[in-house]
Chain A
Amino acid sequence: MAASSSDVLQGTLDLLVLKALSLAPMHGWGISQRIQQLSRDALQIGQGSLYPALYRLEKRGLVKSEWSTTENNREAKYYRLSAAGQRALAAEMTDWRKFVGAVDLVLLAE
């Protein structure tokens, strides 16, 4: 475990999940691995907390799920981004950038 891991900011988990799924459909564990890899182990999401987020996104219609088999021939639930999910991801990414930019402006102010 990376000692320098930081908790995922409240509310950004949904965004990360959407981003991870935008690359390819994936099961829950895969999503957590992907986020960890992409952040170079900087972001350590509580693996369990992924599931409430997934069900929440599914209820909002942003992701869809179905059971299928993995390459190791195990049953797993795969999630993929819906069209609405694509749009939501784009919108939330814009929001996020604005937010980060704003915070930077404050922090870098002389």
Chain B
Amino acid sequence: MTLLRSLWFRLRALVTRRRIAREIDREMAFHVDMETANNIRAGLSPDEARRLAHVAFGGRQRFREEARDEIRSRALEDLAQDVRHAARTFRRTPAFTATVISTLALGIGATTVIFSVADNVVLRSLPYRNADRLVGVQVLSDRLKNVTPTWVPNAAHYLAWKAACTVCDGMAAVRPNGLVLSGAGDPALLFVFRVSDNTFSMLGAHAERGRLLAPGDDRPGNERLVVISDQLWRERFGARDDIVGRTITMGDTLWTVLGVVAPDFRMFRGTELGPFLGLPKRADAFVPLALDARERTTPGEHDYGVIALLRPGKTAEALRAQLDAISAANAVQLRDDPPSRTLITPLQAQVVGAAGRPLLLLLAAVGAMLLIMCVNIATLFLARSAARRRESAVRVALGAGQGRLIRQVLAETVTLSVLGGLAGVVLSRWGVRALVALAPSDLPRVDEVHVDARVLLVGVVVSVVAGLAFGLVPALRFGQTAPGDVLKESSRGATDSRTTMRGRSWLIASQLGLSAVLLVIAGLFLKSFERVMHADRGFTAERVLALDVVTSRREYPTLAQRNQYYAEVMERLASLPGVTATAVTSALPLEGEAWIDGVWPETAAGGANGGRELDANFRFVSPNVFTVLGVSLPKGRTFTEADRGRRVVVLSENAARAMWPHDDPIGKRVHVGSDSLWTVIGVAANVRTTGIEHEASLTAYLPYWERGYAPTILVRTNGDPGALAGPVRTALRQLGPSVPISRVRTIDQVVSTVVAQRRFELVLIVLFAITAVLTASIGIYGIISNSLSRRANEIGIRIALGARPANVHAMVLREVLVPVALGLVAGVVVSRMIAGVIAGLLFEVRPTDGLTFASVALLLAAVAVLACWIPTRRATRLDPVDALRAG
């Protein structure tokens, strides 16, 4: 009851603020009038009577405020007043305001941008129904453990698990496929997913038109159904409404369109479901998995991405135990000895994979940058509060409470930071777009990144917290003003007090320390990047254009016809102006492993590796691929036309050494996949296959004519290879009108795709570090120059007494020596710890890299000295007489 009344009172008071102020004034005026009249009756002159009445009443202003304070809602009222006061202050000091707001906008904008990326990529759950219960199923690959720790399952295991699993509410499998779409514009290679019929329902996908594949669709005789992507529907079929029920031609077969999947459906891509599965970045069409008899029973085809939906309350561990038990119980039918062991990973973690850590590091880095900016703004406010000491002293003397003053300064800083935060959020909209453009396309989920309410909320919270953080110190100092001391202090400034100097030292030290951390990490990343770019890739080609083609089995049914096609392509393209050489290959360096099969020496039984078979990458190449790509052949020779019909192989150095550590491999014979014997005619340099940062895989090169499969066409040029893309396409289209060209890129682009993630991280972290150092140097400059301008007097006296500029410089440097050293030491210690944590993100650079640490320390020391030297020089150039007068 009391509470309600008091609340009502406050609310009314708030609404009727002016009326109440007037009422109090009237009431008090009446009081003084009565007292005056009383005094006159007592015989005083009217003037004297009024004077005494005022004296008896006391400080009217004070009582008026107290009375008002009694009745109104203090917090709200004061806040509104403080904000108004702050706004007036800002208008008076536009430069200060602009500096603070733009610094904050930058800091909060950057934080928001990085947060939105981290949020979308790492933190937010996948856009699937029951995303928290979805898990990825992989198999531990004991046999291949030197190639990869895990492996996607084969069909037999998937089927056995699916049939017997009681811990999960469903298990789905996808297998990527490529089919050529014809009859709808130019032939195009479509990225087709063969999916089990429960995939869409398990993921909670919706149809935009028609329906999606549903349980029951995957049965024999029902295979020719297709669901197409929204993009394909729009690009190839003009978004026609009558698409449902129509037939389309893919891979020379007719398929009936069941429906169009909603545009926001997200299909798995890349290695999200497991290594080597190589899902395409785009999903154009979905067809029933329809496993054939061979697929069901071939144990070696580890080609299925498998996901499962855990029953509510069941754990990944329970699923693992059950699946392993099923594998063990069916080991004979599954031809699985020893029985496979599974790895169950929450889908979220599996999809985000290794991308999470660098992003979280970036988030920390941007946070550190924001912190430096806050410290910087705090110094600005401190400088200003020092300049406003008299103002605060006067206000305290007039009766303002300490709390009131603190609140007022806080209102100023929070108002500023909210303004800066708003500007930052606006900036972040562009920033996110720029960042997504810059980000490597294989950064998982990067295309889903956007600024939304959640991100905006973070922006707002960060800005308010930042405002409180950097406002508190100056606010407390503002509030602590002892009016007597300040007002007594002559207008002739004294030297700084001990607290001022200590505060200054803290600010300098923390700015330098944070900058040091960012710089060290940026330095380590920079060095790693440089090492990556200069690592030995095994090939030296620069001006090479690569195009992927698909020769359909219908147009080119025989091996001879396909070989004929490749031969014609090479000959025709070689005649184009600007082309110096051409070649074909089944896979490019750095674009991953492909066609892994076993190799073992003829003499394996008693041979060096004890009869164990090695897993090697097979590449089908034309003879001159080594020259076109710039791969050296340290031993032996490449293929020649004369080798047609002979079984010859070129091995990579590591493969040759693995089989014959001591002997000359040339002339030795190896078993390849089956038990046929192939003669080694050459040894090629190791070429990095899965990335510059990973050791080259063991590789075996076979002539393309053995398989008639070499879908990547290479053109070496003497000019810009990109410029030849047009003529090469035209020539290819003339040679094979039905052959789609699916991918065109230069070798440089291949390299830059591989390092894209690293470059992305590097660019951002360097950007943050540079911003941090600039901010910190401006901050230190500001602190010193502010302090010197208040000490102009002192310096004037020193110079008048004979100090030379060098002495003054020395004095200032002595004062900052301790904070600078402390900041640097702390920064180095902290960055050493962080570097240890992120060692896994570095490449051939130790986290203790002395050069990086030393250069960062030197650089920052130099920056600090410079930031002190400039304002000091200005101070020493003042005429001492002026300084003393102006003081």
Q: Which residues of A contact B (CB under 8 A)?
A: 1, 27-29, 32-33, 46-49, 51-52, 54-56, 58-61, 74-77
CB-based contact A59/B63 at 8 Å = no
A1 to B70, CA, bound (A): 29
B23 touches A (CB below 8 Å) = yes
Q: Known contacts A48-B63, A51-B67: does B23 contact A77 (CB below 8 Å)?
A: yes
CB-based contact A48/B71 at 8 Å = no
B453 touches A (CB below 8 Å) = no
Q: Mark B145-157, 1 if CB is under 8 A from A, else 0.
A: 0000000000000
Task: Report chain B residues within 8 Å CB of A60.
Answer: 2, 6
* Contact among B2, B56, B64, B68 for A47, CB-based, below 8 A: B56
Which of B5, B27, B68 gathers the greatest number of chain A CB atoms within 10 Å?
Answer: B27
Q: Known contacts A29-B34, A59-B71: does B63 contact A77 (CB below 8 Å)?
A: no
Task: Report chain B residues within 8 Å CB of A76.
Answer: 27, 30
Q: Known contacts A29-B35, A47-B56, A47-B58: does B66 contact A52 (CB below 8 Å)?
A: yes
Q: Which residue of B lies closest to A28 (CB)?
A: B31
Q: Known contacts A29-B31, A29-B34: does B57 contact A47 (CB below 8 Å)?
A: yes
* Contact among B26, B34, B58, B68 for A48, CB-based, below 8 A: B58
B577 touches A (CB below 8 Å) = no
Task: Report chain A residues within 8 Å CB of B63.
Answer: 48-49, 51-52
A56 to B56, CA, bound (A): 21
Q: How many residues of B contact A (CB 8 A)?
A: 29
A96 to B62, CA, bound (A): 29
Further contacts, 18 of them, CB under 8 A, given A48-B28, A59-B9: A27-B31, A29-B35, A33-B38, A48-B63, A51-B24, A51-B28, A51-B63, A51-B64, A52-B66, A52-B67, A54-B67, A55-B67, A59-B6, A60-B2, A74-B33, A75-B26, A76-B30, A77-B26
CB-based contact A56/B70 at 8 Å = yes
CB-based contact B30/A48 at 8 Å = no
| Shortest CB distance A51–B (Å) | 5
* Contact among A48, A54, A58, A77 for B62, CB-based, below 8 A: A48
B606 touches A (CB below 8 Å) = no
Binding site of A, secondary structure by majority: helix, strand, loop or mixed?
Answer: helix
CB-based contact B30/A74 at 8 Å = yes
* B1-58 CB contacts (< 8 Å) to partner A: 2, 5-6, 9, 23-24, 26-28, 30-31, 33-35, 38, 56-58
| Shortest CB distance B404–A (Å) | 16
* Contact among A49, A51, A56, A61 for B27, CB-based, below 8 A: A51
A77 to B25, CA, bound (A): 11
Task: Report chain B residues within 8 Å CB of A55.
Answer: 67-68, 70-71
B59 touches A (CB below 8 Å) = yes
A77 to B28, CA, bound (A): 10
Q: Which residue of A lies closest to B2 (CB)?
A: A61
Task: Report chain A residues within 8 Å CB of B388.
Answer: none
A54 to B64, CA, bound (A): 12
* Complex A-B: 27 CB contacts under 8 Å: A27-B27, A27-B31, A28-B27, A28-B28, A28-B30, A29-B30, A29-B31, A29-B34, A46-B58, A47-B56, A48-B59, A48-B63, A49-B58, A52-B63, A52-B69, A55-B70, A55-B71, A56-B70, A59-B6, A59-B70, A60-B2, A61-B5, A74-B33, A75-B26, A76-B30, A77-B23, A77-B26
| Shortest CB distance B308–A (Å) | 65
A55 to B27, CA, bound (A): 12
A76 to B69, CA, bound (A): 21
Task: Report chain B residues within 8 Å CB of A74.
Answer: 30, 33
Q: Which residue of A lies closest to B5 (CB)?
A: A61
Task: Report chain B residues within 8 Å CB of A51.
Answer: 24, 27-28, 63-64, 66-67
A68 to B63, CA, bound (A): 23
| Shortest CB distance B55–A (Å) | 9
Task: Report chain B residues within 8 Å CB of A56.
Answer: 70
| Shortest CB distance B40–A (Å) | 14
A29 to B37, CA, bound (A): 12
| Shortest CB distance A9–B (Å) | 17
| Shortest CB distance B285–A (Å) | 74
Task: Report chain B residues within 8 Å CB of A59.
Answer: 6, 9, 70-71
Task: Report chain B residues within 8 Å CB of A54.
Answer: 67
B60 touches A (CB below 8 Å) = yes
| Shortest CB distance B418–A (Å) | 32
Q: Which residue of A lies closest to B63 (CB)?
A: A48
| Shortest CB distance A25–B (Å) | 15
Q: Known contacts A27-B30, A77-B27: does B70 contact A47 (CB below 8 Å)?
A: no
Q: Which residue of A lies closest to B60 (CB)?
A: A48
Q: Which residue of A lies closest to B28 (CB)?
A: A51
| Shortest CB distance B872–A (Å) | 53
A55 to B68, CA, bound (A): 8
Q: Which residue of B lies closest to A74 (CB)?
A: B30
Task: Report chain A residues within 8 Å CB of B68.
Answer: 55
CB-based contact A48/B9 at 8 Å = no
Task: Report chain A residues within 8 Å CB of B38.
Answer: 33
Task: Report chain A residues within 8 Å CB of B71.
Answer: 55, 58-59
Task: Report chain B residues within 8 Å CB of A77.
Answer: 23, 26-27, 30
A39 to B33, CA, bound (A): 23
CB-based contact B35/A47 at 8 Å = yes
A47 to B58, CA, bound (A): 7
A30 to B5, CA, bound (A): 27
| Shortest CB distance A74–B (Å) | 7
A34 to B100, CA, bound (A): 58
A105 to B368, CA, bound (A): 67
| Shortest CB distance A49–B (Å) | 6
A49 to B62, CA, bound (A): 9
Task: Report chain A residues within 8 Å CB of B66.
Answer: 49, 51-52
A47 to B36, CA, bound (A): 13
In order of increasing CB-CB distance, the 6 nearest A-B pairs are A48-B63, A48-B58, A52-B66, A55-B70, A29-B34, A29-B31
Q: Which residue of B lies closest to A46 (CB)?
A: B58
* B740-783 CB contacts (< 8 Å) to partner A: none
A28 to B766, CA, bound (A): 70
Which of B30, B31, B57 gathers the greatest number of chain A CB atoms within 10 Å?
Answer: B31
| Shortest CB distance A1–B (Å) | 8
A70 to B280, CA, bound (A): 92
| Shortest CB distance A35–B (Å) | 13
Q: Which residue of B lies closest to A67 (CB)?
A: B23
A56 to B71, CA, bound (A): 7
Q: Mark B51-95, 1 if CB is under 8 A from A, else 0.
A: 000001111101110111111000000000000000000000000
Which of B23, B28, B35, B70 gathers the greatest number of chain A CB atoms within 10 Å?
Answer: B70
A61 to B337, CA, bound (A): 88
Task: Report chain A residues within 8 Å CB of B57.
Answer: 47-48
Task: Report chain A residues within 8 Å CB of B27.
Answer: 27-28, 51, 76-77
A27 to B29, CA, bound (A): 12
